[in-house]
Amino acid sequence: MPPGSTLDLEPATAAIDDVRDSQKTTCCVVGGGPGGMMLALLLARQGVPVTLLEQHKDFDRDFRGDTIHPSIMEILDQIGLAEPLHQLRHAKIYGPTLQIANTTFNPIDLRRLKTRFPYIFLVPQARFLDFLANEASKYPDFRLVMGANVEQLIEEDGQVRGVRYLGADGTHEVRAPLVVGADGRFSRVRHLVGFEPIKTSAPMDILWFRLPHIPGDLPEGEGRILGGLGVGRILVVFDRFDYWQVGYVFPKGHYQNLRAAGLESLRQSIAEVEPAFAEHVKTLTDWHQFSLLSVESSRCPHWFKPGLLLIGDAAHVMSPVGGVGINYAVQDAVVAANILAAPLRAGRVQLSDLAKVQDEREWPTRVIQAAQSAMQNRILASVLRSQTVLRIPWFVRAFFAIPFLRDIPARILAFGVRRVRVSEEGVRSST
Ligand SMILES: Cc1cc2nc3c(=O)[nH]c(=O)nc-3n(C[C@H](O)[C@H](O)[C@H](O)COP(=O)(O)OP(=O)(O)OC[C@H]3O[C@@H](n4cnc5c(N)ncnc54)[C@H](O)[C@@H]3O)c2cc1C
């Protein structure tokens, strides 16, 4: 179907024997991560009936980033949610602290940016998603189904017309003129529709694990992402208040070497990068306490087809460098809601509307992925290969000392390549 043609917004009804029930909605969002949740909230606010299907029964999972960047906070502020979000237990950081040998380097200071929220707000992502879900549930057009594992697309006449999901009690169907795949890096929807992402592998992998809070350890609550750089390794640390969530970054493909060297060697290595964890690492006694995350980034050449749109990690997996994945997923959601809410309500979504979402969001994604790739290949790869304790090169320190230049990375970190705002119509709530 060429861009410009109108999608048929009256879903067909077909009897399917093993399906327990078939519901209709206007937009079916698959995946309750930051992208899907934000899109569902913004559509529901504007009176678009939306059903959100999330495969897990809750949002409590380790594999989540916890960062809310200034751009997301500004978006939330537009719809009156920044203040309430600040009521949740949180921490703030004004820029990552790089700890190298015994010195620290703070290349980025968000406090110099023109924004009401010049910090990265750290809140366990599960609490953030609970917060958005709770907010969305105030709108009668929002329906959330937890424990709904989408397994099939309903396709008729070359158009996606809904999904089938497996719930606790069997298979259900949701029919909708538009399905949005916001189901993350391993997107089932993307797979079902046959879109192949172009992958770029990063020169590193991450071991992801928890360490306990111990009285007197790192200062609690002030919030920090520590990038500890040592001999061939980097440590990233989030304070999740009840525990430390830690990422141990090491050269890609070296996992077997780590295993062969043994747990004691890994414990020592962690404590070398962050000596404050010398006691904590004693709790690491089994490899089952670690999850291996293969770092890659990718982007889909196509984000849409008739009746279907991909957003967030489903459309483009971002490398963890800079922690921008949540930011980009939320920005995709805002742009999608800005463009699609009115056509959805009017019952006339055109393929060109879906194309517009990709057009607006693809280039900022490609720019940031190119920047991440350059950083990974030129800086991180050499850090991870290094056999000596690193020093920050003079030209890097010089760059961050020049007032005009030093804030460019901060602006990109805070807002992405360009600021995204909720449309005026989106700001006006339907209730
Ligand atoms: C270990 C780790 C640390 C990270 N740290 C950061 C960070 O600090 N800052 C940052 O910005 N980004 C970080 N990221 C990246 C960030 O988490 C993602 O970019 C972001 O969550 C993408 O949001 P999303 O809504 O597109 O997808 P996701 O957050 O992945 O959400 C997808 C949702 O879809 C659900 N789902 C999947 N399949 C189905 C199905 N078949 N049916 C129904 N539901 C389904 C999943 O359960 C999930 O809830 C990190 C990623 C990882 C893995």
Cβ atoms of 256 and 129 within 8 Å: the answer is no
Could you tell me what percent of the chain has a pLDDT over 90? Answer: 55
Number of Cβ atoms within 10 Å of the Cβ of 141 = 21
Q: 394: which 2 tokens?
A: 């003079």
Distance from C-alpha of 221 to C-alpha of 359, rounded to nearest angstrom: 40
Give yes or no for residue 322 CB within 6 A of ligand 1: no
Q: 32: which 2 tokens?
A: 């309750």
pLDDT score at 5: 41
Average model confidence (pLDDT) across the chain: 86
Distance 189 CA to ligand 1 centre (A): 14
Name the band, by pLDDT with cuts 50, 70 and 90, for residue 14.
very low
Distance from C-alpha of 182 to C-alpha of 312, rounded to nearest angstrom: 6
Give yes or no for residue 35 CB within 6 A of ligand 1: yes
Q: Which amino acid is at 73?
A: M
Q: 221: which 2 tokens?
A: 């609550």
pLDDT score at 32: 97
Helix (H, G, I), strand (E, B) or coil at 382: helix
Pick the atom of ligand 1 nearest to 187's CA. Answer: 38
Average pLDDT over residues 227-254: 78
Distance from C-alpha of 350 to C-alpha of 344, rounded to nearest angstrom: 9
Give yes or no for residue 152 CB within 6 A of ligand 1: no
- 129-138, 211-220, 300-309: range with lowest mean pLDDT: 211-220
Distance 401 CA to ligand 1 centre (A): 35
The H-or-E segment that residue 19 falls in is strand 19-24
Bigger pLDDT: 360 vs 405:
360
In 101-251, beta strands by DSSP E = 103-105, 120-122, 142-146, 149-156, 159-167, 170-175, 178-181, 198-212, 226-229, 234-239, 243-251
Residues with Cβ within 8 Å of 299's Cβ and at least 6 positions away in sequence, in order, are 197, 198, 315, 316, 317, 362, 365, 366, 369
185: left (phi over 0), alpha (psi -120 to 50) or beta: alpha
pLDDT score at 2: 39
This prediction has a pTM of: 0.89
pLDDT score at 231: 59
pLDDT score at 408: 85
Cβ atoms of 337 and 43 within 8 Å: the answer is yes
- pLDDT tens track for 295-325: 888 999 999 999 999 999 999 998 877 778 9
Residues with Cβ within 8 Å of 405's Cβ and at least 6 positions away in sequence, in order, are 399
With a cut of 50, say whether residue 79 has pLDDT above it. Answer: yes
Average pLDDT over residues 395-413: 80
pLDDT score at 378: 67
The residue contributing the CA closest to ligand 1 atom 37 is 183
Bigger pLDDT: 27 vs 91:
27
180: left (phi over 0), alpha (psi -120 to 50) or beta: beta
Give yes or no for residue 37 CB within 6 A of ligand 1: no
Give yes or no for residue 55 CB within 6 A of ligand 1: yes
Bigger pLDDT: 231 vs 316:
316
The residue contributing the CA closest to ligand 1 atom 7 is 65
Cβ atoms of 209 and 202 within 8 Å: the answer is no
pLDDT score at 381: 63
The residue contributing the CA closest to ligand 1 atom 21 is 326
Pick the atom of ligand 1 nearest to 238's CA. Answer: 8
Distance from C-alpha of 307 to C-alpha of 159, rounded to nearest angstrom: 6
Where do runs of H (alpha helix) occur along 245-378?
A: 255-261, 263-273, 325-346, 351-375
Give yes or no for residue 122 CB within 6 A of ligand 1: no
With a cut of 80, say whether residue 272 has pLDDT above it. Answer: yes
Phi, psi of 93 (to 5 degrees): -130, 145
CB burial string 75-86: b at 16+ within 10 A, e below: bbbbbebbeebe
The residue contributing the CA closest to ligand 1 atom 20 is 326
pLDDT score at 228: 59
CB burial string 166-185: b at 16+ within 10 A, e below: ebeeebbbbbbbbbbbbbbb
- pLDDT tens track for 358-389: 999 999 999 999 888 887 776 666 666 666 66
- 160-174, 226-240, 246-260, 344-358: range with lowest mean pLDDT: 226-240
Distance 220 CA to ligand 1 centre (A): 26
Give yes or no for residue 25 CB within 6 A of ligand 1: no
Helix (H, G, I), strand (E, B) or coil at 367: helix
Distance from C-alpha of 94 to C-alpha of 410, rounded to nearest angstrom: 10
Give, as one character, the DSSP assignment of residue 167. E
pLDDT score at 391: 66
- 288-292, 307-311, 394-398: range with lowest mean pLDDT: 394-398
Distance from C-alpha of 325 to C-alpha of 202, rounded to nearest angstrom: 15
Give, as one character, the DSSP assignment of residue 187. -
With a cut of 70, say whether residue 160 has pLDDT above it. Answer: yes
Nearest Cα residue to 68 out of 110, 128, 20, 149: 128
Distance 326 CA to ligand 1 centre (A): 8
Name the band, by pLDDT with cuts 50, 70 and 90, for residue 214.
confident
- 54-68, 266-280, 350-364: range with lowest mean pLDDT: 54-68
- pLDDT tens track for 107-123: 788 898 999 999 999 88
pLDDT score at 225: 56
pLDDT score at 295: 83
Residues with Cβ within 8 Å of 210's Cβ and at least 6 positions away in sequence, in order, are 62, 240, 243, 244, 245, 246, 289
Give yes or no for residue 181 CB within 6 A of ligand 1: no
- pLDDT tens track for 15-67: 445 888 999 999 999 999 999 999 999 999 999 999 999 999 998 876 677 88
Average pLDDT over residues 128-152: 97
Distance from C-alpha of 18 to C-alpha of 36, rounded to nearest angstrom: 28
